[in-house]
Chains A and B, each alone.
Chain A
């Protein structure tokens, strides 16, 4: 017997009969499982891509980026205008005059002194103007 035949004989098995219908059932199950795994993997990848896209989009949506701002926010004056300052000053003056009038009434115990004071304040700009001219 030559070497090839000996090898062949070594490998020959008493072939076990396989249940074909059982095999087909197992095969169908295995195929469905593979299909399910593939669709799960695809969904996972798509979800990851979506998260990355949203993340990158959000990052660039922020002024100067979410992580590094360069310290510019310390010096930002874009939301404050001179008009705001004037209004603030005007309101602030009114409160100051009211407080001063109340103080005069309490201190002097005479309401007319307070009236005089308010009159002077009211005509203050006019008096100043007359004095300058």
Chain B
């Protein structure tokens, strides 16, 4: 199996199939990430498509200054961030409408609905939101999260801590 670097170089030389190979390789990761942060399967697929379209445009100028993995997570996080911003507006616009029945998981040990959690995440400041999203969906170490978001490990930890604290408040959890 070809390495990411080789595939990207082939794509940069005009081989479209190399890009398709990259899509095959990383689709589960990207799609899985968006499945976690959205309620709608179609929406997750649309967001994954947006990520790969962005990659198609940007990989032609990719200079291998960072690992492709890191770059991919960054694109994922930015796309998710845009999705949350858009969704926040959607929530404001439809305040007067009846709330549809939300997704409820069948496992008994879950205390909150997915929509409640993501609604709380969407209300966080940008940096906290990005760190929390990557941490809870991908379980990456803070060092990697720092690399992805161009911040130090310590800053990532602090942002995560503040973000989780705020989510607790928004979910009505009293410590």
Name A residues whose Cβ lies closer than 8 Å to a Cβ of B.
1, 3-4, 6-13, 15-16, 18, 20, 23-24, 26-27, 30-31, 34
Contacts and interface: CB of A to CB of B under 8 A. Distances in A.
A4 B136 CA distance: 7
Given A10-B110, A11-B114, A24-B23, A3 B164 contact: yes
Interface of B: 20, 23-24, 27-28, 31-32, 35-37, 41, 45, 48-49, 52-53, 56, 105, 107, 109-114, 117-118, 135-137, 139, 164, 167-168, 173
Nearest to B110: A10
Given A7-B136, A10-B110, A24-B20, A18 B28 contact: yes
A93 to B, nearest CB: 85
A10 B114 contact: yes
A16 to B, nearest CB: 6
B28 A7 contact: no
Given A7-B136, A8-B136, A11-B37, A18 B31 contact: yes
A7 B53 contact: no
A37 to B, nearest CB: 12
Contacts of A18: 27-28, 31, 45, 48
Contact of B24 (A7, A20, A34): A20
Contact of A3 (B36, B45, B49, B168): B168
A6 B105 CA distance: 13
B53 A34 contact: yes
Given A6-B111, A23-B45, A27-B23, A11 B31 contact: no
A42 to B, nearest CB: 16
Nearest to A2: B164
Contacts of A30: 49, 53
